[in-house]
Structure 1
Amino acid sequence: MHWETVGQLAAAACLGTFVGLERELEAKWAGLRTHMLVALGSALFTIAGYDVVSSHTDPVRLAAQVASGIGFLGAGAIMRGGLTVHGLTTAATLWLTAAVGVAVGLHSWTPAVAATAITVVVLRVVKRAEERVSVVHPTVLLTADLAPGTSPDDIAGAIEERLPGSRTMKVTASASEVSLQMLVRPGPEETLAELSGRLLAIEGLTGVSLGGE
């Protein structure tokens, strides 16, 4: 038995544990066991690829196969409910954990450990920063009614000029009217009434409705 190989597999599962534990604490469906197995499987594919084919196997091709395979699992983590998309971060951590497993399989210990540590920091620390930004500048769902013949793209562009970072979510059209839904952030200390007045100054808008996301 090659104890070095066993150690690599154990190390990959261990590194997957750190990312998976964070997801488990956040009550995500892909938690501790899932991330451990993704890292372990990726390491096994990499090690087996080298052992079965040759020591000269192109590591880029091995990594590409693992990345394409993990894409199906990551896609299953993404769900959409109305205008909100859930699971993108978990899909990204699964993809990252697979990369860590490949790195371990290639004996790239420093990148594997560093990537795991940075991932945990991003998930725990950066999330707190995002939450603070959301509290200071909450996201608002905007529904804008357009005058006949007005281009939704032109209106969306005008709104993005006034509210940088806005995102178009949906355009709804019927025989009699066209409406545009976007996610926007009001300016600092700007009330919804003030924001409505600012948006209604845009030529081509006939009405706006604002509400929390």
Structure 2
Amino acid sequence: MDIIQLVDLAPYDWVSILTAIFCGGIIGFERQLRGKPVGIRTSALITLGTYLFLATTFLLSSDHIDPSRVIGQVITGIGFLGAGVMMNKDGAVAGVTSAAAIWILAAIGVIISVGHLMAAIKLSVLVVAILYGVDLLEKNIKALGRGVHAKIKRYSRSASRD
């Protein structure tokens, strides 16, 4: 067995695989920097997994296989994963942005599987810009930090005992 056969993943292609890892990675990098539950590894795996499920479905295409049904099942499965990162804390739901990030990661995996690699990269950058940009807006525009978007001041244990 030569090196070409060893690294060949045909019928899948390395460019799509690396694009999926890159797209998931840059979104996950932003999430991980903020200490959110969906970091680099999780994000890259969600995007890569979605690509692999859809690419495999396209390989099996026949009169009996409908790729749109697989996309629907991926969306359902991703919904369960997203629900797992959402929590209820004192009546307030937390983790909605992380759940939405999981949802968009799967969508980017679908985009890669249909061959739109540059669009997937651009959309991943756009997602990071939204995640980071809205945070900047919230810090600089007081009206955006009201209600459920208000930042809760956290005190250390020793300070809360006093």
TM-score range, shorter chain: 0.7 to 0.9
The CA deviation at 1:139 is 2.9
Q: What's the TM-score, normalizing by structure 2?
A: 0.77
The CA deviation at 1:59 is 4.1
The CA deviation at 1:55 is 9.6
* Distance in 2 between residues matched to 1:93 and 1:59, nearest whole Å: 23
CA contact (8 A) 1:18 1:116 kept: yes
The one-letter code matched in structure 2 to 1:70 is: I
CA contact (8 A) 1:13 1:39 kept: yes
2:13 alignment partner, SS class = helix
Q: Which has the higher helix share?
A: 2
The CA deviation at 1:6 is 2.7
| Structure number, greater radius of gyration | 1
Residue 49 of structure 1 pairs with residue 57 of structure 2: yes
* Distance in 2 between residues matched to 1:10 and 1:56, nearest whole Å: 30
* Distance in 1 between residues matched to 2:51 and 2:144, nearest whole Å: 42
* Distance in 2 between residues matched to 1:94 and 1:136, nearest whole Å: 28
Query: Does 1 or 2 have the higher relative contact order (CA < 8 Å, sep 6+)?
Result: 2
* 1:14 counterpart residue number: 22
* 1:90 counterpart residue number: 98
* Distance in 2 between residues matched to 1:137 and 1:109, nearest whole Å: 34
1:85 alignment partner, SS class = strand
* Distance in 2 between residues matched to 1:41 and 1:18, nearest whole Å: 16
Gaps of 5+ in 1: 141-182, 186-213
CA contact (8 A) 1:63 1:99 kept: no
Corresponding residue pairs, total: 141
* 1:109 counterpart residue number: 117
Q: Which has the higher strand share?
A: 1
Cα displacement string for residues 20-43 of structure 1 (whole angstroms, at most 9, x for unaligned residues): 000000101221100000000000
CA contact (8 A) 2:57 2:67 kept: no
* Distance in 2 between residues matched to 1:138 and 1:62, nearest whole Å: 39
Among candidates 72, 79, 91, match of residue 87 of structure 2? 79
* Distance in 2 between residues matched to 1:67 and 1:40, nearest whole Å: 14
Flag the 1:132–1:84 CA change in 2: closer, same or farther, 3 A: farther
CA contact (8 A) 1:46 1:102 kept: yes
Among candidates 100, 106, 120, match of residue 108 of structure 2? 100
Gaps of 5+ in 2: 1-7, 151-162
